[in-house]
Amino acid sequence: MGRGYIVDDAVEGYLSKLCEQQAGTVTGLLIGQSSAQRDFVIMAPRTPQRDESTGPSLYKEWVTEHARQVSRMLPGGLSVLGVFIITDNDSKDTLTTLRQLVFAVENLISSEQLWTPEDDDITECVTLHVNAKTRKTICRTFDIKDPKSMAKPADWKYQSGVCSSCTTVSCSLNVDLLVPLPDNKTITGTMHTCIKEGLKAWAYQIKSGVCLIDGKNMQAETELTTGQKRNVRQMYTAQLLITSDKQRQTDVVQSCGGSVLVRGAIYSRTYLLTNKPKAKLTEKLLKRDVVSTVATRVQMLLEELLTSEEESKARRDKLQTEQFCLPRRVFCPAKATGLVCVCDYQFSDEDLSEVADRLKEMLDIDAAEEDLDTRQELAAEILDSDFTEEPSVKPVEVLEPKRNNFIGAVIATAVALLAAAASTLYLSDI
């Protein structure tokens, strides 16, 4: 027997509407949560429209890039489970297209993840084919860890109130992360690799941390909702206790051209849709959301800086210190009930209307500015007191107090302050 998918009836209404409006092939993503017993699908945003002249190969890139952007907008517990396609026929070519898309989507999303897959991770992704004329649906899964995987039939069942008994777990965490940069600041790829490796090392610290749920260190198989009423929304607060690396940063001697410092407090939120969420799964999803939200902000800032690389080079030639703000996390209800939220990241120079526009484009959510929850993280502020008159002195002493010949030309410091939430990036010439 194949996997079973419990699908919110709002998805049925959304897909039916797309069938009515359909002109040509329509594709989109299936969003929800996997579990050992069954999977839950709560959203199915269509792929944004593109130039009709886009060829098949570019269209696959369009779909996968949409999936990458959407994956960044999902809080803990939610992920892109697969893809759907709406067509006028049941051609065998449709299955080939779905297979290519689901593998491409998963490969791109997993390339940005900083955690190591675990044995209990679900490796099957779902594809859904809807015939726009007959409304016939065909659901299949592929094991995306097996390149030769064949399609397996799966059960697709609509149900109301899929999120009605969801469990919400949230926490705030102080972050203080220092990543050395390469000597040659012109090698952008090398810098990105160093930052990613530094974030991976920090992600390992997060994974090794102790998770307290409502102040309790629960055993792995303990059910969070034991003894409580079913079909009632539960909310918990978690704490992550992180121990320092055995090898302190002050003990490391290495040649570098600077460093990136991420510092502050981030807000994390995880949803569990199963009726019997266990402590082990809760902890895993919460930790992954912590890692994902920090990595996403750093990556978004790097991407923005790359778009104005020449301008940035000119500024670095003139200024000793540069400061940039990392974006803050903003939440928005996935639908009217507000039981489950998605998120976006707002830069300091953006209006909330721009966040609402992205939610519409990426997730097809009609959100007014008043629907956006900005209370969890305040907007970033750059204060003169955040940096000393000689910004290079303290970071240099931290890396290697006695051997200044290892000092490079630039120190870059990204500071994320997010439960009280300001985020800043500093670029300092030595």
422 — pLDDT class (breaks 50, 70, 90): very low
**What pLDDT does residue 406 have?**
20
**What pLDDT does residue 410 have?**
27
383 — pLDDT class (breaks 50, 70, 90): low
What is the mean predicted confidence (pLDDT) over 123-136?
A: 94
Q: Specify the pTM.
A: 0.85
- Residue 343, pLDDT above cutoff 90: yes
pLDDT in tens, 6-40: 999 999 999 999 999 877 889 999 999 998 878 99
pLDDT in tens, 56-114: 567 899 999 999 999 999 999 999 999 999 998 877 889 999 999 999 999 999 999 99
**Contact between 296 and 72 (Cβ < 8 Å):** yes
Distance of alpha carbon 295 from alpha carbon 166, whole angstroms: 26
SS3 for the chain is CCCEEEEEHHHHHHHHHHHHHCCCCEEEEEEEECCCCCEEEEECCECCCCCCCCCHHHHHHHHHHHHHHHHHCCCECCEEEEEEEEECCCCHHHHHHHHHHHHHHHHHHHHHCCCCCCCCCCCEEEEEEEECCCCCEEEEEEECCCCCCCCEECEEEEECCCCCCCEEEEEEEEEEEEEEECCCCCCHHHHHHHHHHHHHHHHHHHHHCEEEECCECCCCCCECCCCCCCCCCEEEEEEEECCCCCCCHHHCCCCCCEEEEEEEEEEEEEEECCCCCEHHHHHHHHHHHHHHHHHHHHHHHHHHHHHCHHHHHHHHHHCCEEEECCCEEEEEECCCCCCCEEEEEECCCCCHHHHHHHHHHHHCCCCCHHHCECCCCCCCCCCHHHCCCCCCHHHHHHHCCCCHHHCCCEEEEEEEECCCCEEEEEEEEC
Which of 220-234, 299-313, 347-361, 409-423 comes out lowest in average pLDDT? Answer: 409-423
Architecture per CATH, 4-159: 3-Layer(aba) Sandwich (3.40)
**What pLDDT does residue 131 have?**
93
Domain boundaries, the chain: 4-159, 167-209+244-267+290-326+380-429
- Residue 408, pLDDT above cutoff 50: no
244 — pLDDT class (breaks 50, 70, 90): low
**Contact between 256 and 408 (Cβ < 8 Å):** yes
Q: Note the Cα 151 to chain centre separation in Å.
A: 28
**What pLDDT does residue 384 have?**
57
pLDDT in tens, 219-238: 999 988 765 555 667 899 99
Q: Note the Cα 232 to chain centre separation in Å.
A: 27
Percentage above 90 pLDDT, the chain: 52
Distance of alpha carbon 118 from alpha carbon 112, whole angstroms: 16
**What pLDDT does residue 188 have?**
55
Stronger pLDDT, 429 or 91, i.e. the higher one: 91
Distance of alpha carbon 222 from alpha carbon 279, whole angstroms: 6
- Residue 322, pLDDT above cutoff 80: no
Cβ-based burial of 186 (10 A; exposed 0-12, middle 13-18, buried ≥19): exposed
What is the mean predicted confidence (pLDDT) over 135-164?
A: 93
Which of 150-154, 232-236, 289-293, 411-415 comes out lowest in average pLDDT? Answer: 411-415
| Phi (first) and psi of residue 423, to 5 degrees | -135, 135
